[in-house]
Structure 1
């Protein structure tokens, strides 16, 4: 266990590395760092059983950098990672923690990209190489990578590497390294194949097992929407139009689905792109760069394709297809809420998949809040608001004077009102597309009537329905409501029940007997600048009569 008083300064790491760790803002090591760093500094082999998000990269990077010989150009450390994204992420981490070391060179090598920069880096000499197994073997076989002076070898996410078919490559690389080296292996699970590698290639390793207190981060709001399979695209479109987001990853189950969903979204006017294992590396790099710089806002991905993807502007993760195992769910939603920011995770659940939802809640020890599918009225209110905003923006656009004269001439010559001309131009800009959404025909399946009855649902035992004075028109989502009330009122996310967001107000299920201290704290709470005015709800019928 990590002592609260333990700091990185207590771990006897190199002063220059300690300075860089301080620059990053780290003070207290995580559990895996506190256990692994001293063991590696002492020269022991290490087997670390830890999930993503426990800080394992720093756990092996810091001790390796503390012991590396910067005076030598020989490759002294090799880190194997399953994907290009993870290799780059690990290499960047080494760069950060080694920022104050003189003449340290870290080189990422991976498949699907130009050999030129990698060959130049190997020729210059890199004390630390981070690579994917296939490209490492390629360089070894061509004599461009010399591991004869290797002192440290790390297998990162070893179970993922084996699952992706790299078992023979990993063994081949291990066989080409010196017998006397320090090995660290990190894996979320310990299947027989991983145990075999540890027995064969590691010498009396120190085993470190770290289980996160909660498998999912506290700063990620988790919600689910019940929707039938045929209606998923309609549901996704509604969410994208109503939910405020910066960038989003939409996870699907198959490579084919990434292309299909991306194409359908682009046809609806969204800036979306697909990423999967069949996409050429150059295109993959362009797509991720476009996501980072804002040229695209929505990435449709499979689990493996998004492994190691770290883009700070991803505010939302949406599970279009529910994952079959809880580990995938944790990895998926871990793509948001990065660098201490808050994140949002949404999950589409069909009626037959509710058992998978329960499994996720049980394994992650968290309760997902059920969210209402945005209504047609919600979508159309957003479309009207965006249309009005676009007019306001265009009024300040350059060249408006020219078009004003042209329209005034048209008005005079044709005796047509300015309003009719503006409406005609708006219709022209739509290029035949319908502006307002219409309600789709009801499904014949039985679950649809049950969903329509949701607004009149009774709160679960111990909860009561409260009304707050913010809604869709204030551009709020469930994440804003939960975050504000939880932070100001001292409530935990698990104490929230169902949330229904109307155009002008919202209904929130909270503990029936809120303490006076909590009610007092919430008196002046604001969301989007509007005081929430928390009050017990007086009944759904009365609430609905006030809804426009």
Structure 2
């Protein structure tokens, strides 16, 4: 039985929900929908971005709309054009089986007369940005004097963008007896002021704690000197070859500068800030959604309302001036039940801000070291090997193979693999051989690393359905260790790394010496960067060679087999 049926939704909505594949309502949906359906009440709902808030207010509004009337009955205010369009699109999907429901999206950068015509034809629900809605009210193009439902979505973001006066002016044109539903990730004073002024005894719903961070986001900080901020960003990107991230800067100038440097260094990057035209912004966002851009460098204001799934990392190139803003930044990852990572690059003078952030998000930050040259080269080498293994061989290659075989005649398998990998890898290794470590000691004089720990390589990753949370749970189940005994978990596309205290190393290596799952070897080795354990790693390699080729042992049948359609997207070389 679909659990949405228990919330009181009608058959038309349940059919649409089934089409979209929704089965279990999120916590905010489970708490909000029954109340909004059964009562004509005001509501304040606090929940993180990406928790399903649109459906939490969208389903009840659609069900309560009078489809026999063409007058505007519901108004939804959202901070940005992107979010406005997305909400309107989702509401249209929700109401696909309800005839005569019309939803209009009202935002700047498009023809105001066309939008006015759409409303005039009979839009029962209007989704709007505050600026355009205020403009249309002043021109008499929209009538909201008889609406029954008003939603303030991402209320804190709208107020952070300076829309307080616009919102109060818009609400002054609405009837007092309407139901107002306020949805927000945090509850700053301005949001509380809006609630007090325009709402009567609202029902309060909180998912998690007020202003808390999402529980499926891991928070990390990296301590560097001020001059090494950009090289640190490069290293974090190189240590995560499949990164799909938003990089936050404080100013438009820094945003453009960082994006240009990333592009010059060969990364798929783009800038998003207030100096871009709407057309330029649309092009950048389209490229980001299509993953043509892997690193979107943005200011906080420009990133308001970005709603892109599967962002793997949020990187705080600089911390925001307002600590509450960090909650919004980190909320760009770890969406829709998936996990994500929020990284902060800081200097010693900013360390005290980490404690303030921990109090606000009610989660601890993990101090981590900037990856050194050896660690990055190891990750990139494994990543290259995985790409080679997963690459689809095109039919056109077949005709050239005899000539290619002649050229490569005399090379044995191991030598051929070494040469093939070196063609792509040598430039990368040469660059990092000329660089030094960037990691800074913490305030107490100690390195942010953990002495006495061992780092391991394991041949499963994101393609096998793992993220940092589920891999920790898997390792805990297999080893009997406590969850906190496994740390510094870094999940890549086809492989991962993790740490334990060195006292557990022998036991872990023994458990995974001949470990199989679903007929596939799950191989764990001590990473070449784990100090003092190189000899043991060498012995394990030699043992692997005796039982088969070392490349095959590291890549048993099924390694990285869940490749997206068998295709590998070509990436511009970073070197």
TM-score normalised over the length of structure 1: 0.76
| 2:473 partner SS | helix
Would you say 1:484 and 2:488 are equivalent positions? no
What residue in structure 1 maps to residue 163 of structure 2? 166
For the 8 Å contact 1:258–1:276, the answer to whether it is kept is: yes
Q: Paired residue for 2:499? A: 508
For residues 366 and 288 of structure 1, the distance between their equivalents in structure 2, rounded to whole angstroms, comes to 31
Tell me the alpha carbon deviations over residues 206-244 of structure 1, each in whole angstroms, 9 at most, x when there is no partner.
331414169444443443322222112111112222313
Where does residue 436 of structure 1 map in the other structure?
Answer: 431
Summarize the alignment of residues 123-138 of structure 1 with structure 2, pairs less than 5 Å apart.
123-138=120-135
Alpha-carbon separation, structure 2, partners of 1:99 and 1:340: 25
Structure 1 residue 331: Cα displacement: 2.1
- Residue 456 of structure 2: aligned partner: 468
SS in 1 for 2:72: coil
Q: Work out whether 1:207 is the aligned partner of 2:203.
A: yes
Counterpart contact for 1:40–1:63, Cα < 8 Å: yes
**242-251 or 108-117, which deviates more:** 108-117
- Aligned partner of 1:289 among 270, 286, 289: 286
The one of 221, 230, 250 aligned to 2:227: 230
Which of residues 361, 365, 368 is equivalent to 2:365? 368
CA distance in 2, matches of 1:526, 1:324: 48
Secondary structure at the counterpart of residue 436 of structure 1? helix
Closer, same or farther in 2 for the Cα pair 1:544/1:131, shift >3 Å? Answer: farther
Q: Is the 8 A contact 2:273 2:299 kept in 1?
A: yes
Q: Residues 154 and 480 of structure 1: is their aligned pair in 2 closer, same or farther, counting only changes over 3 Å?
A: closer
Cα distance, 1:545 vs structure 2: 8.5
1:247 aligns with 2:244: yes
Which among 315, 320, 325 is matched to residue 317 of structure 2? 320
Structure 2 vs 1, CA of residues 113 and 492 (structure 1 numbering), >3 Å: closer, same or farther? farther
Equivalent-residue separation in structure 2 for 1:399 and 1:35 (angstroms):
58
Provide the C-alpha distance between the structure 2 equivalents of 1:206 and 1:475, rounded to a whole number of angstroms.
42
Asked whether 1:330 is paired with 2:304, we answer no
The separation in 2 between residues aligned to 1:242 and 1:374, in whole angstroms, is: 7
- 1:82 aligns with one of 72, 79, 83: 79
Summarize the alignment of residues 300-311 of structure 1 with structure 2, pairs less than 5 Å apart.
300-311=297-308
Taking a change above 3 Å as real, the CA distance of residues 134 and 355 of structure 1, as seen in their structure-2 partners, is same
CA contact (8 A) 2:29 2:55 kept: no
Cα distance, 1:542 vs structure 2: 3.8
Unaligned runs of 5+ in 2: 407-415, 542-575
Query: Which of 13, 17, 21 is equivalent to 2:9?
Result: 13
Is the partner of 1:311 in helix, strand or coil? coil
1:82 aligned counterpart, secondary structure = coil
Q: Per the alignment, do residues 33 and 116 of structure 1 end up closer, same or farther by CA in structure 2, a change over 3 Å counting?
A: farther
Partner of 1:267: 264
After the TM superposition, which residues 397-416 of structure 1 pair with which residues of structure 2 at under 5 Å, given as runs?
A: none
Give the direction of change, closer, same or farther, for the CA distance of 1:545–1:389 in structure 2 (3 Å limit): closer
- Indicate conservation of the 8 Å contact 1:112/1:280, yes or no: no
Change (3 A) 1:475 1:343: closer
Alpha carbons of 1:283 and 1:536: their partners in 2 closer, same or farther (altered >3 Å)? closer
Tell me how far 1:258 sits from its aligned partner.
0.9
Question: Using a 3 Å threshold, how does the CA distance of structure 1 residues 154 and 500 change in structure 2: closer, same or farther?
Answer: closer
Shift of 1:185: 2.5
Aligned to 2:174: 177
Give the equivalent residue in structure 1 for 2:115: 118
Q: 1:44/1:267 Cα in 2 relative to 1: closer, same or farther (>3 Å)?
A: same
Quote the offset at 1:133 in angstroms.
0.7
- How many residue pairs match? The answer is 510
Of 338, 343, 346 in structure 1, the residue corresponding to residue 343 of structure 2 is 346
Gaps of 5+ in 1: 409-418, 459-464
Check if 1:151 corresponds to 2:148. Answer: yes
CA distance, structure 1, for counterparts of residue 224 and residue 283 of structure 2: 33
1:31: how far off? Answer: 4.8
